[in-house]
Amino acid sequence: MQIFDVLIIGGGPTGLACGIEAAGAGLSYRILEKGSITDAIRRFPVNMTFFSTPELLELDHIPFTTPNTRATRVEALQYYRRVVEHRKLAVSLYTKVVSIQRQDGMFSIELGNGERLHARRVVVATGYFDYVNRLHVPGEDLPHVSHYYDEPFRYAHTRVAVIGGRNSAVEAALDLYRHGAQVTMIHRRPKLGDSVKYWVRPDMENRIANGDIRALFSTVVEEVFASSLRVRHVDTGDVSTVDADFVLAMIGHRPDEHFLRAAGVELDQRTLVPTYNHDTFETNVEGLYVAGSVACGCETWNIFIENARTHAQPIIRHILAHL
C-alpha cells in the first residue's frame, strides 16, 4: 500500500502552489482535482477580468506575461496549465474525494470511484465556488433560476433579474445590459457593496442613474415565479412584482461544510470559518490543513489568489517538521 507524505485536495492556484512546495521539499504527494486544472476559474464568466494584476497571480516565480494591465480568465487558464506542465506536477484530474478519515495517525481518502488513497498529511484546498448561498425562497429551483453566470448571449432581448450587489452581480448586470438584456438588480443592502471594483463602480452607478439598469436597493426576494418575482422592501415592507424571464442569484458562495465537518474539522456556526492555526494552517484535526479560500468560510472577500498562494510554504514547512 502506497502511503503519500501529503495529499492535496483541490487543483486551483492554491492547491498547485502546495504541490510545487511539496515537490520542492522532496515529499511524495498528489493533487486530487474533481474537475479540470483550476476548474473554478474555467467556470468563471467568460469575459471576466481579474481584480489582481498578473504578478500577484504568479506561482513559484514563473512569470505571468500579458499585454493587459489585468489578466483575463483565458490568460489565467493558460498560465496555470503551463505551470502544471512546466513543474511536472502530479495532478489527478476528474478525481472526486468523497471523504477523509483519520485512523491510527494516518489518513484514508475515499474517492468517488471507490478507490482509497492513504497519506500521512492532507491539505484541503477546495475553495468555495461549488457551493452557493441560497435565497431559501419558493421557486428558487425553477429551471430559469441560476446561481452562476457564464456569458450574456443567451439572455439578449430578455428580462433578467440579478440578485446581489457585490462584484459578481454588478459585473453580470453590466455585461447583460451591454448585450441587449433588460436588467433589474435586486439588492438587500441600501447601496452597492464596498468591495465592488473601483473601476467598475462608477460604470454601474452611472447606468443606474441613467435608467439603463433598474436597481431595487434594500429589497429582498420573497418568491420566484415562472416569469416574475415577488419582492419586499426591507424598511417599508412594501411588496411589488418584478417581471423576469431569467433570474441570476449572484449572492455568494460557501465552503462544503458537510465535507469538512465529516472530516472532523470544527467550523464557526455563523461564518463557517474552520478552526485552524493561522501560522501553520493546521486544523483542530492533527495533520489536516486548510489552504486558500476554504479557510475564510462564508467571508469570501478576505482571501484571494494573491494572499492564498502564500499559504503553501508554511503548510509544507510544518509538514516537513512533523513527518
Domain range spanning residue 94?
A: 3-131+253-322
Looking at the fold, whether 271 and 222 belong to one and the same domain comes out as no
Looking at the fold, whether 228 and 277 belong to one and the same domain comes out as no
Looking at the fold, whether 270 and 231 belong to one and the same domain comes out as no
Nearest to 288 by CA among 2, 66, 136, 97: 97
Evaluate whether residue 49 is within a structural domain.
yes
Q: Going residue by residue through the chain (323 aa), what tens digit of pLDDT does each one get?
A: 899 999 999 999 999 999 999 999 999 999 999 999 999 999 999 989 898 899 999 999 999 999 988 999 999 999 999 999 999 999 999 999 999 999 888 999 999 999 999 999 999 999 999 999 999 999 999 999 999 999 999 999 999 999 999 999 999 999 999 999 999 999 999 999 998 988 899 999 999 999 999 999 999 999 999 999 999 999 999 999 999 999 999 999 999 999 999 999 999 999 999 999 999 999 999 999 999 999 999 988 888 899 999 999 999 999 999 98
Looking at the fold, whether 118 and 164 belong to one and the same domain comes out as no
Evaluate whether residue 201 is within a structural domain.
yes
Cell of 109: 481518502
Looking at the fold, whether 13 and 106 belong to one and the same domain comes out as yes
Evaluate whether residue 184 is within a structural domain.
yes
Cell of 67: 499585454
Residue 110 is part of a domain; what is its CATH number?
A: 3.50.50.60
pTM: 0.92
Looking at the fold, whether 16 and 60 belong to one and the same domain comes out as yes
Looking at the fold, whether 34 and 110 belong to one and the same domain comes out as yes
Looking at the fold, whether 68 and 168 belong to one and the same domain comes out as no
Cβ–Cβ contacts within 10 Å for residue 284, how many? 13
Looking at the fold, whether 170 and 245 belong to one and the same domain comes out as yes
Tally of domains within the chain: 2
Evaluate whether residue 100 is within a structural domain.
yes
Looking at the fold, whether 193 and 238 belong to one and the same domain comes out as yes
Using a 10 angstrom Cβ sphere, with 0-12 exposed, 13-18 middle and 19 or more buried, the burial of residue 132 is middle
Looking at the fold, whether 162 and 96 belong to one and the same domain comes out as no
Buried b (16+ CB within 10 A) or exposed e, 300-313: beebbbbebbebbe
